[in-house]
Chain A
Amino acid sequence: MRIVIIGNSAAAVGAIEAVRKVDRSTLITVISDEPHSVYSRPLISYFLAGEIKPEQLCYRPKDFYKKTHVRTLLGRRVVKAVFEDKAVQLDNGEKISYDRLLISTGGKPFLPKIEGLDKPGVCTFTKLEDAKKISSLLKDTQKAAVIGGGLIGLKAAEALKKRNIEVTIVELADHILSLTMDETAASILEKALKKEGVHLITSNTVEAILGDDSVESVRLADGKLLNTQLVVVAIGVIPNVDPFKGTALGIEKGILVNERMETNIPDVYAAGDVTQAYDKILKCYRTIPIWPNAYSQGKIAGYQMTGNKKYQYEGSFMMNSIEVAHIPTISIGLTDPPPDNGYQIFKKLDRVSGVYRKVILRGDVIVGAIFTGQIDRAGIMTGLLRDGVKVKGFKKELVNEQFGFVSLPKTLRKERLLNLK
């Protein structure tokens, strides 16, 4: 059998490792437009900040493809898929046939309509090449503007700050991390960011990037001008479905997949940031572009492609861990639900230390949580949420900093600690 994987990040590795657990003989080919062996894209901010060496970007050891018997076509782009022939066509005209295809092309930066996006000095920040490009521009840069106060924008801003660049973040919403955090958590982080010397402009956006040959300034929606030599567009990522547009592949925002990671086309699977899959908290199909989800979906697709039906996708949910201005934060699931609708919210806030903890229940189960300043053992909450454990008997303990397995009733504690999956 021949498995072809398009993409070379978390979902691809999840698939390769799953296939090789049960099957050594299937031919696996990985195609990626990036010329690198598998590296961790989230680490590019650490790389730009100068905190890690280039070799630390490697997500798996150098001999990964050799050990897993994977043929790589790196630096090759898939230009189109010919599903009726069970083949994909590369940018050099070559056709690669498959028996099973996994699409794990990930996400790509969302680019809004802003005048002047084509100027040199305008960058995105999702791939290693982006980090290298930004790095190469820094010698002529004193000031940078980062459009977007989400995860990528904040990491870019912090990295630039560490390289002694004066950074301004411009965020459209009224607070940073508006998709994953509530206002209280965001305000703690905003305060810390400002203290570190990062400028922050909220409820505003960049309308135009100005300058003749290079970036000189940006014009904001309220008419103000901001001097800058570098612009990082970090508004968000969208599924990278370009090679499959106009085909019969089922795409809404991302590629629609079922619990076996199958698309609507036989023998074609998808996994990772490119997909639109079931969110078990929001109870809808949506993109959940996070690393753990990508790996896990890739793994399920890997097993399914070999015919092993043991693993199925049970639905995922949003979660993120990010440190902003030395403050660790974790957000899980639904963190800021509308005020009515039967949600029960427990909060504990210490403004002085910046420690904030919030847990959201729907009925008797946890549907979301925020940890700011103190994140230790947050995973217990993630586990209770993931498994839909009824927390009625101990719900008031959830926001307690000492919350642990001692807080659980004995039977539940023993079940969770001793009955290992």
Chain B
Amino acid sequence: MKRIFVKEEVCMGCRLCEIHCLVEHSKSKNIFKAFKEENPRTLPRIFVEEKGTLSFGLQCRHCEEAYCLEACMSGALYRDEKTGAVLHNKEQCVGCWMCVMVCPYGAIQRDLNGKKAASKCDLCVGKETPICVMKCPNHALEFRES
């Protein structure tokens, strides 16, 4: 399946990926409303790690053998049969954080705004290319077959 890969050598740490991800996953999909009016505000599902001049964006790797799927005791995490993506049903999630405990990438976050639930990359379901990849100004994110 197609996955997102980061090239840390060209990532500038501008965090535009985080902003566009948040907007894409907001209700309004409007940058102003997403930040200023929507409450609770959604979390970006990609986050940039940074240390000095080193930086890179990281999000769910959609593992073939996903530890989170095995650890999820509520059944909220599931594999999308068509795309192979690991998706999350917020309604079913109870916020037990078993997924946070087992994800070797540290890519599942706790969303504590509003209903307590896990938050993760969904590869922008329905879009040909995930928004973070599309909007990265220096092509530090790639969407390709793995």
- A residues engaging B (CB < 8 A)? 10, 14, 40, 42-43, 46, 51-52, 56, 58-60, 291-292, 295-296, 299, 319-323, 328, 330, 332, 375-380, 382-384, 386-387, 404-407, 413, 416-418, 420-421
Contact = CB atoms under 8 A, between A and B. Distances in A.
A292 B54 CA distance: 34
A417 B6 contact: yes
B87 interface: no
Interface stretch (B23-31, B67-75, B126-134): B67-75
Contacts of A376: 100, 106, 109-110
A296 B70 contact: yes
Nearest to A328: B97
24 contacts: A42-B73, A42-B96, A58-B75, A59-B73, A291-B71, A292-B70, A295-B71, A296-B70, A330-B100, A330-B101, A377-B106, A379-B67, A379-B102, A379-B106, A380-B105, A382-B102, A383-B103, A386-B104, A406-B51, A406-B55, A407-B51, A420-B61, A420-B63, A421-B63
Interchain residue pairs A-B with the least CB separation, the first 6: A383-B104, A377-B106, A379-B103, A292-B71, A406-B51, A295-B70
B100 A379 contact: yes
Contacts of B105: 379-380, 383, 405, 416-417
A320 B3 CA distance: 30
A404 B49 contact: yes
Interface residues of B, number: 40
A321 B94 contact: no
Contacts, number: 118
B97 A330 contact: yes
Contact of A421 (B54, B65, B70): B65
A40 B5 contact: no
Contacts of B73: 10, 40, 42-43, 59, 291
Nearest to B5: A418
Contact of B75 (A40, A328, A386): A40
B32 to A, nearest CB: 28
A40 B100 CA distance: 18
Given A404-B106, A406-B51, 10 more contacts: A40-B74, A42-B96, A43-B73, A43-B94, A292-B102, A328-B110, A375-B97, A379-B100, A386-B104, A405-B56
Contacts of A14: 70
A379 B146 CA distance: 23
A211 B109 CA distance: 48
Contact of B94 (A46, A295, A386): A46
B136 interface: no
Interface string B1-44: 00101101000000000000000000000000000000000000
Contacts of B74: 40, 43, 56, 59
Contacts of A56: 74, 91-92, 94
Nearest to B64: A421
Given A43-B94, A406-B51, A379 B70 contact: no
B85 interface: no
A46 B115 CA distance: 14
B80 interface: no
